[in-house]
């Protein structure tokens, strides 16, 4: 992992040698795969075929090793692979041939973007911008996929993409649950930066669901028959909004920077 501080106010993070090591390991396991792609994940990423043939023990071990190596790179220098890796890590116990095809797609993307750096900088405004989004009922068990990220000017030092841990009844409820899951990171990041004497002027959370935003701001006052069942502990962020530690704003889906549910950056 290399940290380049040669440009003032900016850090460029790369793991070129490690990415090459991953690609080389995959080419040994799958020598026929030599193409590249510009998409981080296939369209059928979340589709699971229970009847698909399982990988042999040797192939399954190679699958596990490659996913673990890619996860290490994802967390440090390649957040653009976050969504694919988040899914593949759930398949390492009993991977099948479909899972290997999805891994192959990811490796093709890495091969084509092996020199892509992670560039981070702060614009000095003191504004923390969070984008949070969720895809409703995309998994076979009808759970959603949720993602989010932070930018202070350029690049995203914090990126996450996870499968939701409970079933929800609507996309509004899903996005409410997603923000609640991310609140520890949102609060801790602000406290940490303030402890480093970095002046925070605003901590803004962007979402594309107006109903979810109203629930966050007004709690049960904006609740209806479809949302009155939601547990009160998911309204933790309302207290932070009232204390002006967090500000929630609407952002159209077409302008959701990074489109964190489908292509975390």
Q: What are the boundaries of each domain within the chain?
A: 2-112, 123-255
Mean pLDDT, range 77-81, rounded to an integer: 93
> Is it the case that residue 120 has pLDDT exceeding 90?
yes
Residue 115 has pLDDT above 60, yes or no: yes
Q: What is the pLDDT of residues 197-225, one digit of tens each?
A: 999 999 998 888 777 777 767 656 555 55
At residue 191 the predicted structure's pLDDT band, cuts being 50, 70 and 90, is very high
Looking at residue 262, its pLDDT comes to 37
Burial 78-108 (b: 16+ CB within 10 A, else e): bbbbbbbbbbbeebbeebbebbbebbbbbbb
Instruction: Give the mean pLDDT of 88-98.
Output: 94
Is the pLDDT higher at 51 or at 248? 51
Q: Beta strands 145-151 and 2-4: pairing type? A: unpaired
Higher per-residue pLDDT: 136 or 200: 200
Top-confidence residue, 179 or 186: 186
Pairing of strands 145-151, 127-135: antiparallel
Is 257's pLDDT higher than 50? no
What CATH number does domain 123-255 carry, 3.30.420.10, 3.40.190.10, 1.10.3720.10, 2.70.98.10?
Answer: 3.30.420.10
């Amino acid at each position: 992992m290399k940290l380049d501080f040669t440009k003032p106010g900016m850090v460029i993070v790369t793991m070129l040698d490690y990415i090459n090591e991953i690609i080389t390991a995959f080419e040994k396991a799958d020598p026929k795969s030599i193409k590249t792609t510009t998409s981080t994940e296939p369209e059928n990423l979340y589709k699971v075929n229970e009847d698909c043939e399982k990988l042999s023990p040797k192939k399954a071990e190679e699958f596990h090793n490659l996913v673990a190596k890619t996860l290490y790179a994802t967390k440090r220098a390649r957040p653009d692979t976050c969504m694919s890796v988040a899914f593949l890590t759930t398949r390492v116990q009993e991977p099948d041939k479909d899972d290997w095809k999805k891994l192959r797609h990811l490796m093709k993307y890495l091969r084509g973007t092996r020199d892509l750096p992670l560039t981070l900088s702060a614009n000095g405004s003191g504004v923390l911008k969070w984008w949070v989004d969720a895809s409703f009922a995309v998994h076979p068990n009808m759970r959603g996929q949720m993602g989010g990220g932070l930018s202070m000017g350029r690049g995203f030092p914090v990126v996450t993409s996870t499968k939701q841990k409970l079933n929800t009844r609507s996309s509004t409820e899903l996005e409410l649950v997603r923000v609640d899951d991310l609140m520890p990171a949102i609060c801790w990041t602000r406290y940490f930066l303030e402890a480093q004497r970095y002046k925070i002027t605003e901590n803004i959370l962007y979402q594309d669901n107006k109903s979810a935003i109203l629930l966050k701001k007004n709690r049960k006052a904006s609740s209806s028959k479809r949302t009155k069942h939601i547990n009160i502990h998911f309204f933790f962020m309302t207290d932070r909004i009232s204390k002006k530690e967090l500000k929630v704003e609407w952002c159209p889906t077409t302008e959701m920077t990074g489109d964190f549910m489908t292509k975390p950056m």
